[in-house]
Amino acid sequence: MSEVLASWSDGTTRNLRVLWATTLIELRKRYAGTFLGPLWFLLYPTLFLSMYLFLYMVVFKVRFPQLGEFSYVVFIFTALVPYIAMMECATFATSIIRQNIHLIKNVMVPVDLIPARVALMSVLAQLPGLAIILLLSGIDQSLSWKALLLPVVIAFQFIFFLGLSYLLSALGGLLPDLAASINIILIFLLFISPIAFTPDMVPESAKLVIELNPVTYLIGMFREVLLDHQAFSAVRLAGFGAASCLLLFLARGFFNRYKAFIIDNE
């Protein structure tokens, strides 16, 4: 029995090392050869924020009576950073098996680690953006003790991304058209998610769209712990964690059922 446990422990440790090493390699490769290099991890969310602010503050002239302009910028940025991370996770996950099929068939990387690498890479890539949010929240004086719970939220986000990655990587292998349509789906989600507005601003006839949107709860958790003026609920946080674990359990089961079929048909 001890030999079995030792073997299982060694295999798990080895897989974690491979996961960490390959994730760091992929992160270094992402902007390799570009003039600005790693600075893009800061510039990408900042440029995204600029475009979003132009749309909502200049074109639509959205304002919150209880928030000044700078506070509104922080409010949007706090939601955009985790949304961009989710967008990257979903985009990469849908085609990740096909892109890495040579590694999988040559048994260089276990197939189960490929979707996990996408989830881990998406979480790590958002850290510079979160650092900017912490800085802006401090300047805006909207940072409080709740920020100490940020690691818990990131942990739940990683579990959510794991589930999403396993689900979309399996669906992407079974339905190749998903890779071509995922960007359209994500753009649609961007505009129906409460990033530049709050759920209570949505008409009752459209409330169901917000309530069924998983992005609502993802960005809500980040806002609750990063912004002092957002009410925090331990129940909502626990509910998000439980829902993320359920998604991971179901998605992993779905992935395990079809992974052999997907590999054989690539």
Domain housing 92: 2-264
What's the pLDDT score for residue 248? Answer: 95
What's the pLDDT score for residue 150? Answer: 95
**Helical pair 69-99 and 214-226, crossing angle rounded to 10 deg:** 130
What's the pLDDT score for residue 13? Answer: 79
What's the pLDDT score for residue 260? Answer: 83
Q: What pTM value is reported for the model?
A: 0.89
What's the pLDDT score for residue 42? Answer: 78
What's the pLDDT score for residue 143? Answer: 87
| Residue 153 tokens, joined | 């939220």
Cα 212 from Cα 192, distance rounded (Å) = 11
Domain count for the chain: 1
What's the pLDDT score for residue 97? Answer: 86
What's the pLDDT score for residue 18? Answer: 81
What's the pLDDT score for residue 7? Answer: 36
What's the pLDDT score for residue 266? Answer: 63
pLDDT beneath 70: ranges in the chain: 1-11, 60, 105-108, 266
What's the pLDDT score for residue 205? Answer: 82
Tokens 């302009």 sit on residue: 69
